[in-house]
Structure formats: C-alpha cells, structure tokens
Amino acid sequence: MNEQADLKFLSLLRTAGVDLKSMLRIDAKLFQAEFSAGISTAVSSGIWGTVALILLSFSSLLFIEGLVLLLVWLGIAAYLACMIVAAVLGAFALICGLKARASAQTVSFVPAHTVAAVKKDIATLKGALLNVDP
C-alpha cells in the first residue's frame, strides 16, 4: 500500500514538473510580448521627442530670423511672416513634446500580466500538490 502511494506521489510530481515546464514556456512568451510592447512605446516616445526637438530648433531659428528682419526692415511685413511661421512651428513642437511626455509616462517595463500568470500557476501547482490523497 505504501509503495502505491509513493508511486502515485512520484507520478504526480512528474506530471507537476511537465505542467510547470509548459506553464513557464507560456509565461516566457507572455513576458516577451509584454516587453516588446513596452519597447515599441518607448521607441515611439523617443521619435516624437526627436521631432519636437527638431521643430523647436527650426522655430528658434525662424524667430531669430524674424527679429533680424524686424530690425532690418523696420515695418515691412516680412518679419511678420517669419513670426507667424515660427509660432506655428513652435506650437507644433509643443504638441509633439507633450505627446512624447505622455507616451513616456505610460511605459512600464514591469510585465504585470506575466507576473500575475506566474503567481496563478504557482497557486495552481500548490493546490494540486496539497490536494494529493496519499
């Protein structure tokens, strides 16, 4: 009778090991998918930040150009055109910068779904091992 219980327990441990291996493989795939999504968002945020920096640079150059034209022409509307273009580019740079900041704040490199799945798997295995009838 004792040998049967030992065999049953060993069989259960072997099954638990196979199940654990399968669950860990699935959890690794989930972790990879979550991490890839986080990297994608971070790259997107970096691109928007770069666009904002480039547009802000152009805006600054046009603003300076507008000031120079203001001093040179004194009253001719060429400076006004430069100021308007600089203001529009500056506003667009501000919007891009705010979008980049908002995207960067949502990035989390903690794989929450994977952690939850691993905790659930561990609880399932514990429950299976504790409900063994010797």
* pLDDT higher than 90, residue 95: yes
pTM, full prediction: 0.40
Which SS3 state, helix, strand or coil, does residue 107 take?
coil
Quote the tokens at residue 67.
């000031």
Residue 116 lies in a domain: no
From 134, 62, 63, 52, select the one nearest 99 (Cα to Cα): 52
Residue 43 lies in a domain: yes
* Helical ranges in the chain per DSSP H: 2-73, 78-105, 112-130
Q: What's the domain range around 55?
A: 20-107
Residue 115 lies in a domain: no
How confident is the model at residue 87, as a pLDDT?
83
What is the biggest distance separating any 2 CA atoms in the chain, rounded to whole angstroms?
Answer: 107
pLDDT interval class at 1 (50, 70, 90): low
What domain count does the chain have? 1
* pLDDT higher than 60, residue 26: yes
Residue 11 lies in a domain: no
Residue 14 lies in a domain: no
pLDDT-above-70 percentage for the chain = 80
Q: Mean of the per-residue pLDDT values for the chain?
A: 78
Residue 48 lies in a domain: yes
pLDDT interval class at 132 (50, 70, 90): low
